[in-house]
Amino acid sequence: MRPLKLTVAGFGPYAGTQELDFELLGSSGLYLITGDTGAGKTTIFDAITFALYGESSGGIRKADMLRSKYAAEDAPTYVEIDFEAGIPVALDGKKMSAKEIILARVWGYDSEAVENHVEVYVGFLRKKLSAIGSNLRIAAIRRLGYHLEVEELAEEAKT
């Protein structure tokens, strides 16, 4: 799965919303991230790892340390990453995404969408993950929300 777009808000040094469009970098899937010390290279890796697993890259920083000290107190902190298959992945740093959070991020705060829409959307995402042979699984925890799990591929498990 090739990343297409990374969106961060209230994350690392970014108080507001920032987008990184990987499609502008070409389709080879091999990217070189360079820059001076403090330019934000690790923030990119932290954001991708945070979106997928709810923790920082390398596991050195705790998830609550990733919130921007420049963000307004009421500003949300989130990371979203969209892959080539068109599957948006969003976690809020607790490794869980409650239905209310998914409703707000996918349909917007002023939408009339209801929790049932989230269940249909998650079902659709599960089918897409299965269709592309992904080892990611969207798991539901009753009354808490959803989170991503990485499953061992059947072939890897045999070896």
Q: Which residues contact 155 (CB under 8 A, 6 or more apart)?
A: none
pLDDT attached to residue 66: 86
3-state secondary structure the chain: CCEEEEEEEEECCEEEEEEEEHHHHCCCCCCCCCCCCCCCHHHHHHHHHHHHHCCCHHHCCCHHHHECCCCCCCCCCEEEEEECCCCEEEECCCCCECHHHHHHHHHCCCCCCCHHHHHHHHHHHHHHHHHCCCCEEEEEECCCEEEEEECCCHHHHHC
For β-strands 78-83 and 88-91, DSSP reports them as: antiparallel
> Residue 3: pLDDT above 50?
yes
Which tens digit of pLDDT belongs to each residue from 64-84? 788 889 999 888 888 888 876
- CATH code of the domain occupying 96-159: 1.10.10.10
* Partner residues linked to 112 by β-bridges: none
Which tops the pLDDT comparison, 64 or 144?
64
pLDDT-derived band at 8 (thresholds 50, 70, 90) equals very high
Is 1-92 a domain of CATH 3.40.50.300? yes
Which tops the pLDDT comparison, 92 or 45?
45
> Residue 127: pLDDT above 80?
yes
- CATH 1.10.10.10 range(s) for the chain read 96-159
Which tens digit of pLDDT belongs to each residue from 98-122? 677 677 777 776 778 887 888 888 8
Which tens digit of pLDDT belongs to each residue from 14-52? 899 999 998 888 876 677 889 899 888 888 888 888 887
- CATH 3.40.50.300 range(s) for the chain read 1-92
pLDDT-derived band at 1 (thresholds 50, 70, 90) equals low
pLDDT attached to residue 32: 86
Contact 40, 13 (CB under 8 A): yes
